[in-house]
Structure 1
Amino acid sequence: MEKILEVKDLNVTFDTYSGSVKAVRGVTFDLKKGETLAIVGESGSGKSVTTKALMGLIPKPAGKIPKGEILFDGKDLTKLSDKQMSKIRGRDISMIFQDPMTSLNPTMKIGRQIMESLIKHQKMSKDKAKERAIELLELVGIPNPKDRIDQYPHQFSGGMRQRVVIAIALACNPKILLADEPTTALDVTIQAQILELMKDIQKKTDSSIVFITHDLGVVANVADRVAVMYAGKIVEIGTVDDIFYNPKHPYTWGLLGSMPTLDSAEEELIAIPGSPPDLTNPPTGDAFAPRNPYAMKIDTEMQPPMFKVSDTHYAATWLLHENAPEVDPPEAVKRRMRDFAEGSMEKGDRS
């Protein structure tokens, strides 16, 4: 499958009064045409910063990309000026933000907000842009789009506002959609509708999606591949089946073990002890070592490389070294793996 995006050794830092925060530390991944890559991790792991770097939205001068490449369409996006990025942003790469109420301008009618990028990037006339905006509202499931195009954001429910945000992101038929926790602010029923909508739109438009979330249950339903992030690094990456059937990193075990399922309501969930490290002074070894019950001496001394599990599956843990002791996942994680295998956790249609 053709690669549409390649991220190589991406580093992002932020200058603060406490020192330089190394928010993203050597992230490498690729995105294939028509696939959904989910990036998963707890708050502060670097997920959103990574996607903002892809969009050229790292705030300057505090934010910097001291090292790394983001290759798209034959260009390294890290080398482009703001003016050059503005031609790509919205047209080729679009972003769906987490909170639709803060993403939309409350003083502008939604039709005008959708039309803006059509007029700027597609050079459409106002009449043509309005016609296309109505088509987009229909595509994302807004009823009576001809009437609702002249309404303001406060006249829409949370789920409908998120549909409008998706319509804006889709306006110029982007090659890549970056979805930064697009369902976090929504209730479970609306969340399911939005996820179904995104899968349906992807089939129709053949776009590629980078889906940011902390919810592995969402991942099982929408993604083709999963990258697990911790303390600014990708610690495990593989297909959905790799991550759910055969997870290798203790942090991934912790995420899986902390996820409730319908069949395990009475089970005690696993809590990952401790908290993430201070990234103004990242640890020398594996950043997860202080929270890892299986940590060895080498974990405190050296960062583990990405060990190959299979052609599609890699994990950065010393437990995969040939001299490491054999360690099985906790029983709660094994139950999640069995739940997934038996279909209790919906995989969704990723064909």
Structure 2
Amino acid sequence: MENEKDILEVRNLSINFKTYAGTVQAIRDISFDLRKGETLAIVGESGSGKSVTTRSIMGLNAPNADIVSGSINFKGEDILKKSEKQLSKLRGKSIAEIFQDPMTSLDPTMKIGRQVAEPLMIHQGLSHAKAMEKALEMLKLVGITNAEERINDYPYQFSGGMRQRIVIAIALVNYPEILIADEPTTALDVTIQAKILRLMKELQTKINTSIIFITHDLGVVAGMADRVAVMYAGKIVEYGTVDEIFYNPKHPYTWGLLSSMPTMDTDEDVLPSIPGTPPDLLEPPVGDAFAARNKYALKIDTIKQPPFFKVSDTHYAATWLLDPRAPKVTPPANIVRRQEHYKAKLGNKG
């Protein structure tokens, strides 16, 4: 059901890629919403379709991408129906993206001040002097020390963490309504990562932007997201609030992701991992794509894709285990502990 506060609505999106080996069904009928001022995390292993989804929102998919079906409505208008000229007006102004590697995002031959100022000159028509003034304000806001002196420095003169701050400054300088952060801290060490994530949350509050946060690392999601969509083999298999996904997960794939994440309670010498590899999307499985890796798989999983089952008004999971006719299974011990913690938390609230 559409929410009047939704700023972005993705409906029944399917995307194929034509390759020399055949047609890859990269995105397979996904739907989700993004609300004003919230952070939606999209999580899953590499190749699950996270980045393809967000590239579609930016209108940046590769030339061999084929939008088979669906719509991406931004403030009531379908992005997929816009021309390249219309999309270029949206990019960097209304919708901006922070990419994974700051060195590939920054022009090594251009001073950082000019790089931050350029979107202001392009989208707002500001003079060079006025744009540079605002660029300096933004560089200070993202924590570039001695910004007045460093505004004329080149990217190579900054550390990895500082370069990522500059990339964030470029993305946020026009106060976009949607910010897409695609693995924005993967290349950084844990301490710098935490600072960058904290900075993003602070800036989000200041400019009331909505964030789509793409990651394979569930560890960074807990402190960042309001809601979480779990992707596997080009489909969303579970979505809910961050508490529901972390403490009351229902899909075996989500169980596997959470089980392989170290916590303070972890006492095993070796963290469990999900066996096997994701399926080949040149020929996706007939039933549940996760069935071959799922020790809880039922016979129907190899025959028919599961629909979404409602866990709560905000929590849905596509697994046959939630069908009333399914046998009751006990999740892994660490998941059971999470669910008990969640029930106790809800009880305390009551």
Q: Taking structure 2 as the reference length, what is the TM-score of the superposition?
A: 0.95
Give structure 2 stretches of 5+ with no counterpart. Answer: 346-350
The worse-fitting range, judged by mean Cα deviation, of 112-121 and 259-268 is 259-268
Q: Which amino acid aligns with 2:67?
A: I
Q: Which amino acid aligns with 1:48?
A: S
Contact kept? 1:257, 1:336, Cα under 8 Å: no
- The residue number in structure 2 matching 1:262 is 264
Paired with 1:144 and 1:340, the residues of 2 have a C-alpha distance of: 46
2:45 to 33, 42, 45: 42
Contact kept? 1:97, 1:181, Cα under 8 Å: yes
Q: Which amino acid aligns with 2:32?
A: F
SS across alignment from 2:222 = helix
SS across alignment from 1:290 = helix
Paired with 1:309 and 1:294, the residues of 2 have a C-alpha distance of: 19
- The residue number in structure 1 matching 2:330 is 328
In the TM superposition, 1:1-351 aligns within 5 A as 2-60=5-63, 62-335=64-337
Change (3 A) 1:163 1:339: farther
Q: Encode CA deviations 1:169-199: one digit per residue, 9 max, x unaligned.
A: 0011100000000000000000000000011
Give structure 1 stretches of 5+ with no counterpart. Answer: 344-351
Q: Report the Cα offset of residue 99 of structure 1.
A: 0.5
Aligned length: 342
SS across alignment from 1:127 = helix
Change (3 A) 1:81 1:210: same
Q: Which amino acid aligns with 1:116?
A: E
Q: Report the Cα offset of residue 86 of structure 1.
A: 0.3
Paired with 1:131 and 1:171, the residues of 2 have a C-alpha distance of: 12
Contact kept? 2:260, 2:273, Cα under 8 Å: yes
Contact kept? 1:256, 1:336, Cα under 8 Å: no
Paired with 2:288 and 2:59, the residues of 1 have a C-alpha distance of: 29
Paired with 1:151 and 1:45, the residues of 2 have a C-alpha distance of: 38
Q: Which amino acid aligns with 1:274?
A: G
Contact kept? 2:233, 2:279, Cα under 8 Å: yes
Q: Report the Cα offset of residue 274 of structure 1.
A: 0.4
Paired with 2:324 and 2:340, the residues of 1 have a C-alpha distance of: 27
Change (3 A) 1:84 1:112: same
Contact kept? 1:100, 1:165, Cα under 8 Å: yes
Q: Report the Cα offset of residue 59 of structure 1.
A: 1.3
Paired with 2:169 and 2:148, the residues of 1 have a C-alpha distance of: 14
Q: Report the Cα offset of residue 66 of structure 1.
A: 1.4
Change (3 A) 1:114 1:341: farther
Q: Which amino acid aligns with 1:20?
A: T
- The residue number in structure 2 matching 1:349 is none
Q: Encode CA deviations 1:101-144: one digit per residue, 9 max, x unaligned.
A: 11111111111111111000011000000000001001111111
Paired with 2:34 and 2:209, the residues of 1 have a C-alpha distance of: 11
Paired with 2:184 and 2:123, the residues of 1 have a C-alpha distance of: 24
SS across alignment from 2:223 = helix
Contact kept? 1:106, 1:152, Cα under 8 Å: yes
Q: Identical aligned pairs, as a percentage?
A: 66
Paired with 2:320 and 2:221, the residues of 1 have a C-alpha distance of: 26
Q: Which amino acid aligns with 2:191?
A: T
Q: Encode CA deviations 1:142-188: one digit per residue, 9 max, x unaligned.
A: 11111111000000000000000000000111000000000000000
Q: Taking structure 1 as the reference length, what is the TM-score of the superposition?
A: 0.95
Q: Encode CA deviations 1:55-92: one digit per residue, 9 max, x unaligned.
A: 000011x1121111000122100111111100001100
The worse-fitting range, judged by mean Cα deviation, of 185-194 and 144-153 is 144-153
Change (3 A) 1:323 1:266: closer
Q: Report the Cα offset of residue 284 of structure 1.
A: 0.8
Contact kept? 2:247, 2:335, Cα under 8 Å: no
Q: Which amino acid aligns with 1:279?
A: L
Paired with 2:208 and 2:343, the residues of 1 have a C-alpha distance of: 28
Contact kept? 1:10, 1:26, Cα under 8 Å: yes
